[in-house]
């Protein structure tokens, strides 16, 4: 199983993204681009949550920029624990900048069944 945030992991995520381009994505997720800088023991990893799809590297025009440790990124993006985001922000482990009006709806949204299925497929192969 590929380790979270490894090149192999991003490649498997990319393959799933390509096969899932037509899935139903909730409007709050479909309307936001978030650049994430994830700190790991090996250094920083740049990624983007681009309209509901995780991709390697930063996007050119994000609505929001976030930085966080890898354990929070794993909990939120792969395990589906969106409450970890608020906990991390309160503990000052997650830093945010940009258009918060676009980010706040993500805390109260429910993922579509398609989004949840994609997340579970990613979780299933993530170490």
Sequential pLDDT tens for the chain (127 residues): 899 999 999 999 999 999 999 999 999 999 999 999 999 999 999 999 999 999 999 999 999 999 999 999 999 999 999 888 889 989 999 999 999 999 888 777 789 999 999 999 999 999 9
Global confidence as pTM: 0.92
> Does residue 127 lie within any of the structural domains?
no
Q: Which CATH number does the domain housing residue 54 bear?
A: 3.30.1050.10
Q: Give how many domains the chain has, as a whole number.
A: 1
Domain containing residue 11: 7-121
The Cα–Cα gap between 58 and 54 comes to 10
Task: For residue 126, tell me if it sits in a domain.
Answer: no
**pLDDT in the model for residue 106:** 79
- Between the alpha carbon of residue 8 and those of residues 58, 74, 76, 83, the distances in Å are 18, 16, 20, 27
């Amino acid at each position: 199983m590929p380790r979270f945030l490894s090149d192999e992991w991003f490649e498997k995520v990319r393959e799933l993204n390509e096969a899932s381009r037509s899935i139903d994505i909730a409007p709050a997720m479909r309307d936001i681009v978030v650049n994430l800088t994830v700190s790991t023991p090996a250094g920083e990893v740049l990624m983007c949550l681009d309209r509901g799809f995780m991709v390697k590297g930063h996007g050119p025009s994000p609505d929001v920029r976030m930085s966080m440790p890898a354990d929070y990124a794993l909990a939120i993006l792969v395990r589906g624990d969106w409450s970890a985001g608020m906990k991390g922000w309160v503990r000052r482990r997650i830093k945010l900048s940009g258009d918060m009006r676009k980010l706040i709806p993500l805390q109260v949204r429910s993922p579509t069944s398609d989004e949840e299925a994609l997340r579970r497929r990613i979780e299933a192969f993530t170490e």
